[in-house]
Each structure stands twice: as C-alpha cells, then as structure tokens.
Structure 1
C-alpha cells in the first residue's frame, strides 16, 4: 500500500517528505525517509492516518535517544492505542506496545526495558550478610557493594570510583578465587579502567593481584560480536563465564546493549556498574544509568568527595556550579570571575577572527607532541595533554572546520606537512568498528614514519603499541578536535570547549558538565554568554519507562 506524503502533511502539519520541516507546521515533526519507511510498513496492518503518524514519531524519537513515545498528555490518541491491531498491551507480542501510562514502545525496546528492570529488581535483593563499620566513604561504599549482587557506584571525576571497585575486588578475592572481568563501552574507556585498576592493585598482596585482571575489554568484545549480526555469542542461552563483571563509564551504555549484557550474566554472578549519572547519556536510545540512579532501589552508592579537585580547584567548582545552576548565571559568573587559574571564560570570536584568536593556543597545545614523533608511545601520551572539544560536528565552530583550521595553522608553522592528507603526526579517531583489526569507534592513533613509509600507531590493550597501514584503517577522521560526546571515557590535561554561536537542542547542562570534567589540569570555555546560559538551563529529557518498571516489577 502506497501513501501520499501530501495527505499526511495536511493531516499532520510539519510532516514533509525527506525529513524536511514545514515552516508553517510543527517543527518537531521533521521525519526522515527511514521514519516514513517504518510508518508505511506498520500501516500495512492498520491504515489509520493516526497509526502512520505515531509510527513515524516513534521511529524519530528512537533516533533522538528516547526509549518510548510519551502520549500521556495527548488524550486524542487513547482510542487508537486501545484499539489498533498493531498495538499490544504489556505481555502481548505485537509490533508496538502501549503501557498503562500511555507510553508507546517498539516491541524490542519494551522487551529490553522489561528484561533490564527484572534483572535490576531481582539482583538488588540478593544480599550477602557482612559487617560494615567503616566511616571512610570509599571503604563504606565497597562494603555496601559487597552485600549486593548488583551495585551502581556513581560519582564525579576524582571521587575514587575505580579505587572503590579495586577495594571491592580485593575483598572478594580474599574469600575465594573468582573469575573477574573488567569492561567499558569504548576502547579508550577500557584502557583507562585497566590503567586505574593496575595502579590501585599494586597496594594489594601478590596473591590478590594475580586474581584481579591485568586487562580490560570493550563490552562488544566481552559479549562476542558476530559480524553482520545484532546478536552476541554470549546471551541468555550461553552465559558469560565470570563471577564478577565490572563495567566502567556506564552512562555511555544504551538500553539495548545493557539489556543484552544482563541477559548474558549468570544469576550467581555480580555486576558492578561505575559511572557519573550527571554526564551525557548514551548516543543510542536510553539513559540507563540515570534511570537506575533515579529509581528507589537500594543498590546505588553516590560518592561525593573529590580527591582530585579540592576546594581551590576551578574545574571542581565549575562542574559543581553547572550541576546546581538552573539558569547558567552563577556558573558563568564563576568562570568569568578569574577566581580560579584552572577554569576560565573567553568570549567567542566571530568566524572570520577565530583562527587568529586560536592560533597561539593551538601551537602551545599541540607543539609538544609534534616534536616527539620518534617514539609512538611518547607521542600518544603527549597528544592526550590538550584537546579542543566542540558541541557540533558541522558549522564554523564544529569539529570538521576546527580540524581543518588546526591543520592549516600547524602547516604554516611547519609543524606538519599540511599539504597532504596523510603526514607524520596526523592524529586520527576511528569512527567505525573493525573486529578483525581490533580497532573500534573512539580509538585514537597517530601517523608516524616507520621503515617502509607511514603507519598509524594505536595503544594496544596490553599496554604496548600496534601499527597499521593507513589504507587498512576502518572509517576515521582527524582528531585535533572532537565532539564532547566522543570525548566521553577520555581525560585530557587541558581542555578548550568551543561552543557554537547559535543555540541548538544538543547544548545541554550534561554536555557542559561532561566537557568540563574531561579536564584534569585546566579548562577554558569559548562561547557567547546567552548560548552558555541556554545550555546550562536545558537538561536532557529522554522518554523512558525504565524507572517505573524497576520500581513496579515484582520480585
């Protein structure tokens, strides 16, 4: 059955073919061809115009990170939700599911949510009796986690999440020999977790050190990716062979991946999630860590004390101010006050002045690593000292333009051979996955000369180095600057956050907070005051029923 977009455009203002917006209609109803394709498929089974529109909206909401479409404030759809043959109730097997709160789901998202909620509710009640008379926050958190088969440890940067989990693993390892695995959503986050745990376990007895893993893997590698398939080798029928699973940077894990992970965990195993509930949510649908922390279950530990940022730290003060500020006014005043040497504000230059204003900062930030290109590991370490973070990918203040600008400036200074696509010192970030090469989205490498020509060097999971010919790399891009989303799981000594000159819905409190907390030594924000205030006053709101399902799921 074919559908005339013009008919649906009249029925529902704002709907146009090709995902374009109708300036006279509802700008929120900008559907892309994929949304229309899904809507046409669903309408084969129910040709009501309302069903077409709801299916397109549901597809669009998933692309925007929502688990469901919240229709609780739209009583005009209630009759359709209750009577359409393509919409089922919880427990039924139909393409779409509507719950008692008029939230509409794709069946698979409903199933993911149900399985995750059931796991959380069941595991949070599985306790081991242990004494806890510790006053130290980290040790108290560790003792609390020991009682739980499922535990979330949330905290900002420097609050000691990995120190806490190292204590947990050491205490668990004292009782019996356990099979422990460390994991994170990205290769970079896994490498950081591995480095942190390795540093912490040096304080333990040798026999305890031997039980705690030396390496960490990505979640996809842990579950066993099947090329070309959405399924994993480890699943509900073939469980992971581990007693303790630790997942760092859990805020980056979307609903589908978290649901698949918990289905692959033995009922006798422990799952420990580490993360910062105030950071950006996952790129894909869901805000799993935030929903779990917001629920009333008794398995969440919140670490408050920062051991990295003391009372005189501008980074710490700025991150706390952004979290507590509903208007952006107080955090802006703090950044502009010059009270702290490690956190500052720079008024955004016009696009035609940006290069000249950034020039000195770019040279200062990238020159040290460009002068150390003989040693791959040293170059990679020095490259982590400074990064430009952007909110957007496109536009004069976006990643693409800034990377081109940086290359032009460094080329004029003869720090790189800027007239070629590949040159010694070019930093690249992998933006696709290649399971054969072991290169994954977010991995960062540097091109260096070796006998025979240029090769791109990446850190290996065991702490060493590996290299590839540039032509063998999966999809990638230059990485002098990156989006704030891509920076999750990474830390840099110095961060320069570049905000756009126009407001955008992607600019949120969580984005500003995440950017600030990527910095270890200093952060500077370049922006317009009104854009910064708008961002800090805007929170990420993702439609989800996970919190409700966790609280209402019977054990």
Structure 2
C-alpha cells in the first residue's frame, strides 16, 4: 500500500496494526498482502469509530470514505466482494467464528478483531441462557397483592410499569426501556420490594450500578427518594440498598489493566444486579458484567433505546432491544399477565426469539405532561417529524423550547457572551464545592461536534477567555477556582473514568489549597490533588455523547452551520432529553432536517446472535 495514500485515510494506529497483520501472515503475493492490509486497516478504523466489526458486503467495490466531509484524497477503492473474501479466507491470520485467530470473518461477511467477536459471543450466550430459563417459582398470590400496593391506576390502558415488574419477578433477565420521566427507576424500586417480599426469610443480596460516577450518584439519590414512598414494611425498605456504584467498581478493576476481580470464575456475590443508563455501557463492559453473574442471579437493565449508543465500541443495549417488535410476549407470559391484571398483551409471532419476552418499553412520561414542549419535541425528533419539531421550536405556544439561528463563526463568541455571561458570573461567585456543583449542573452547553469552530473544544476556549477578560479567572492559571474538568481516559489507580466531571475548589481543610472535587459513589465528594489528574479537559461545554447519563435544568444544543454526518436523530434526541426545564437549539433548518433523516448505526453481529437475523434491520 502506497504510504501517501495510506496516511490520507488511516491513523498511525490503524496502519501499524495492518503492517503487523501482513507481517504475521507471512510471505504471500502482493495482491493478497494489499487485500489483507486494507481489511485490517479498515476494521481497526471501524472499531475506533465505535463499530464492533467491518461489514465487507457494504463496502466491497466502493471507494473508502472517512468521517470528515469535503476533504480531497487520492482514490482508494475496496476489492470486489468475492475476490476480497477468497483472498482473506486463505490468510493465516483470518479465521472463522470459534477459531483463535487475530481476525474473524463470519458467514455474513463481517470482519472482526477476535476480542470483539468473543465479546459478542460471550454476551449473547449469557443473555440467551438467562432469557430461555423457565419462569421461576413464585408466590402468585403475593405478587398479586404487591402489585395492587405498588402500582395503583396510572391512567394508561395498559400499565407497562406493572408488566415490567411481573416479568422481573418471574424471570432472571429483564430490560426496561423508556424515555425521560417514564418511571424506570420508580419501577425498579418496586420490583426490588416485590423480590424481597418473595424471598421471605432469605433476603437477596442486591447491587445497584451505573456506567459513570455521575450516573451512579443520580441513581443513589433517586433510590433513596423512592424508598420513602414505598408501601411496604420498614424491614423490606432496609434491604433495598441506597448506594449505587460504577460498574467498574462493582466488578473490581485490577489496576494496570482492563480485567476485573469478578468474572466467570469468581462471580459477583449478588442475587440481583440493577444497571441504570445501560445504553451507555459498551460491548466489552456489558459482556464482562454478564459473564460475572452467578447461575441464578437476576439482571435488570434500565435505559433508553432511542438515545445515542456508548462512546466506546458497540451499541449493546440498542441491539438487545432491537427485536423487531415492541412489547410483544410469549403465550406463557401473556397468560400470567392476564391472570394477574386481567389485561391482554400482544403475543409474539411463532418463531420469535425468547428474548423479546424480556424487553418492556415504558410508554407514558410522567415528567413531561401532554402540553410539555420538551416532551412533544422529543417525540417529534424521535419520529423524524421535522415540520412538527420546527413548529415547536419556533412557535410561542411553549415556554420551555426555543430556537435560535446559529450565528456565523465571526459572531459566535459575541452571542455566547450575551447569552451565558450572567450564568458564569454567578457560578464563579459560589462559596462551596457543593454550591458550585449544584449551580454548574443547572445549565450545560452541548455541542454536536468535538472539533471545529462549533465544537466543544473551541467553545470551551471561548468561554474561558470570556471569563478571563471579565476577571472571573486569573489569566495564565491552568488550575483555578471553579474550573470544571472532565476525565478523558480511565485512571484505574484513582478510580476515575472517562466522562467523570469534577470541579476545582479551595479545600478549607488544607488552608485553601486547590483540590478537584468529584462526586463520590453514595453521595459527597472525593478530593484529589490537581497534579494527580492525568488526561482531562476543561468542560464548560461538552459533546452530546459525553452528556449521556446527566440531566440539567437548562440545555442549549449547538449544531454546526452546515450538515454533518455526526448530527443524527439519536444525537438531537439525546441532547433534548438531557433538559428538565428548558431546551434551546442553535442551528439551521437544513442541518436539523438532514440530522433528523440520519440515524446512528453501529455495525454489529449481536442482533443476529440474539434474534437469529430477525432484528428490525433485517425485517421487510
């Protein structure tokens, strides 16, 4: 491969990996070397962009493209499919599923790095094993009595929260998906009470977990509040844990690597594991969690299938939910629902996967009423109804959604100062880390892009310079009071993980020396010396991806001034649903129109492994 062409398309990491594969494969013809080098480079680049595998069928015979738009490069065209497949199958470094080779090529022409094929296999086997188990022995009369206490009438024709609870009590694996305010955590609190009551004199050990420290802190706060309202004995309430941890801490990270103390050989000592914000969990972590369960453990996943996928490779939660139908169940489970609730639910078609039984999608939002602009806008975006979305944003009927035509690059800084200076002036006047964190979390500027004039990096510089000019920040100081920082790479020694956000503040216990305050599992803060914080960035503004698992009173979404493949329906939906009280979109109609017509797609074979090729993407 010509170095000039290679450098135009692939990172140094991708090129070095491809070089290594060619070297490892040994002597062969130049055509076969080129075929292998290109495939290895592309699969490495695909994983870097969040895909689990490379779909050769889709790119064979096509010019290679990159995420950036409009950049001219020398033409690089992929081989024809049959020629490419035949060439790869004859290489010593390429194997079939189940073979221990660096690259795995499956029957549907998907090329994997071995470890990612293994993660998919591991996760699918774990999930299907749990989903296929017969309903567990339960006290039906006790369930019926508990359902009446915990789930009084909601006004819905079908109470999907109640149905999710029935499934979770009767089965080992349950997925509860729903948008903001649909009551996922509310439901799981009642599920835990039902399970504790079922256990009688042998109470279950329960763990609560989330992907990030911020999400774990939110889960802790919500469970504490929910427990107070439960109509059950104080003994049952006492057995529901209040403290949630990160998944990494739950599994027990071993410093210096990505392995964990708890695994298949040393399973977690819990009977019930609840994971909130599961859409943020990448494929490797989800696979490691599932393999660390006891043979009798229950796993409850909570999330929103319509949000963006995880930052790291895979879209495990979305793939698990992608069975092709919503809220359809087996005849056995449908009969149980009818017996307990006198309600009939849709039944699966013959031949559908047992997994669809395990997935319940909550329909009703209790946070956003029928007249909520945020709720209506989220629905319009989720359903790609551009005209309705623009009418909501530009109209005057709702006081919680707003539209602003994005300013040109030359005047963007002026617009930022006009709109946000007052907020940051208040923020820098806070007198404690608690007050600073509380105020900081009330507002966030979310960017679709990371780089470029409308990207988070540029906006962070703009806001920091604005605050320096106003005297809020000492010029030239890297560490200063109220500087918000976000971890950009896992630090297993400090137990800080990618996406964790902290605030710099004077520590009164050390005479006012600066410390970085990070929310601690279970509440409070961890104080860390700034010099110990390694890879991080200032985070007045953040990308929408990094905002997952967080909520803010007010959100401003900054879209670029021209269309980008990064702007998708899921990205806009995720940004809007971070807002609790108001959301303002800065953009152009063209950018929003194209964004709502594009969906975020992660190449993966997990859907096929779980549903036998019958997921929604494979249906007519």
Work out whether the TM-score is over 0.5. yes
Secondary structure of the equivalent of 2:177?
A: strand
* 3-state secondary structure, aligned to 1:168: helix
Bigger mean CA offset, 400-409 vs 363-372: 363-372
Aligned to 2:603: 543
Moved more, 531-540 or 301-310: 531-540
Q: Indicate whether 1:202 and 2:202 are aligned.
A: no
Q: Does residue 1:365 correspond to 2:391, yes or no?
A: no
Partners of 1:54 and 1:117 in 2: how far apart? 26
Q: In the aligned structure 2, how far is the partner of 1:418 from the partner of 1:301?
A: 53
The runs of 5 or more residues in structure 2 that have no matched partner are 59-80, 148-157, 324-352, 614-620
The reply on whether 1:32 has 2:11 as its aligned counterpart is: yes
Q: Deviation per CA, 1:359-384, whole angstroms, max 9, x where unpaired?
A: 23212333333332x22212211111
Q: Indicate the SS of the match to 1:72.
A: helix
The corresponding residue for 2:119 is 112
For residues 338-364 of structure 1, what are the alpha-carbon distances to aligned partners after superposition, in whole Å with 9 as ceiling and x for unaligned? 332111110010112112222232123
TM-fit CA distance, 1:400: 1.9
Query: 1:51-450 residue pairs with structure 2 within 5 A?
Result: 51-73=36-58, 74-126=81-133, 127-129=135-137, 131=140, 135-176=158-199, 177-204=203-230, 205-295=233-323, 296=353, 297=355, 298-325=357-384, 328-372=386-430, 374-449=431-506, 450=508
| Contact 2:51–2:603, Cα closer than 8 Å, also in 1 | yes
Q: TM-score, normalised by structure 2?
A: 0.82
The answer for the alignment partner of 2:150 in structure 1 is none
2:533 aligned with 1:469: no
Show CA shifts across 1:385-418 (max 9, x none): 0110111222221112212222233334444435
- Matched-pair contact (CA < 8 Å) for 1:139–1:167: no
Secondary structure in 2 aligned to 1:59?
A: helix
The answer to whether the 8 Å contact 1:456/1:469 transfers is: yes
Question: Structure 1 stretch 534-543 or stretch 430-439: which is displaced more?
Answer: 430-439
Answer yes or no: is 1:42 the counterpart of 2:21.
Answer: yes
Bigger drift between 334-343 and 110-119 goes to: 334-343
* Contact 1:58–1:106 under 8 Å retained in 2: yes
2:481 is paired with a residue whose SS is: coil
Which shows bigger deviation, 408-417 or 229-238? 408-417
CA contact (8 A) 2:220 2:523 kept: no
C-alpha contact 2:283 2:315 (8 A) present in aligned 1:
yes
The alpha-carbon deviation at position 129 of structure 1 amounts to 4.9
Determine the C-alpha separation between the residues in 2 that align with 1:53 and 1:435: 34
CA distance in 2, matches of 1:40, 1:171: 57
State the TM-score, normalizing by the size of structure 1: 0.91
SS in 2 for 1:16: helix
Q: CA deviation at 1:311?
A: 1.0
Say whether the 8 Å CA contact 1:162–1:197 is kept in structure 2: yes
Given the superposition, is the C-alpha separation of residues 440 and 61 from structure 1 closer, same or farther in structure 2, using an over 3 Å criterion?
closer
Q: Is the 8 A contact 2:277 2:304 kept in 1?
A: yes
In 2: Cα distance, 1:456 partner to 1:78 partner: 52
Structure 1 residue 484 corresponds to structure 2 residue 528: no
Question: What are the residue-to-residue correspondences of 1:492-507 with 2, within 5 Å?
Answer: 492-507=552-567
SS in 2 for 1:246: strand
Deviations 1:59-98 (A, max 9, x none): 1111111111112353332323443333222222222222
CA RMSD in angstroms comes to 2.0
Whether the aligned pair in 1 keeps the contact of 2:213 and 2:519 (CA below 8 Å) is: no
- Shift of residue 419 of structure 1? 4.8
Provide the rounded CA distance (Å) in 1 between the counterparts of 2:435 and 2:258: 38
* Deviating more after overlay: 255-264 vs 98-107: 98-107
Residues in 1 aligned to 2:477 and 2:37: alpha-carbon distance in whole angstroms:
49
| Maintained 8 Å contact 1:417/1:424 | no
Query: What's the CA shift string for 1:10-67, capped at 9, x where partnerless?
Result: xxxxx7233x2xxxxxxxxx22121121112222315412112111111111111111
Contact 1:433–1:474 (CA under 8 A) maintained in structure 2: no
Any idea what the Cα deviations from partners look like across 1:249-279, whole Å, max 9, x if unmatched? 1111111111111111111100111110111
Q: Distance in 2 between matches of 1:490 and 1:192?
A: 8
Q: Report the count of equivalent residues.
A: 530
Indicate conservation of the 8 Å contact 2:503/2:517, yes or no.
yes
Alpha-carbon distance, 1:210 to partner? 1.8
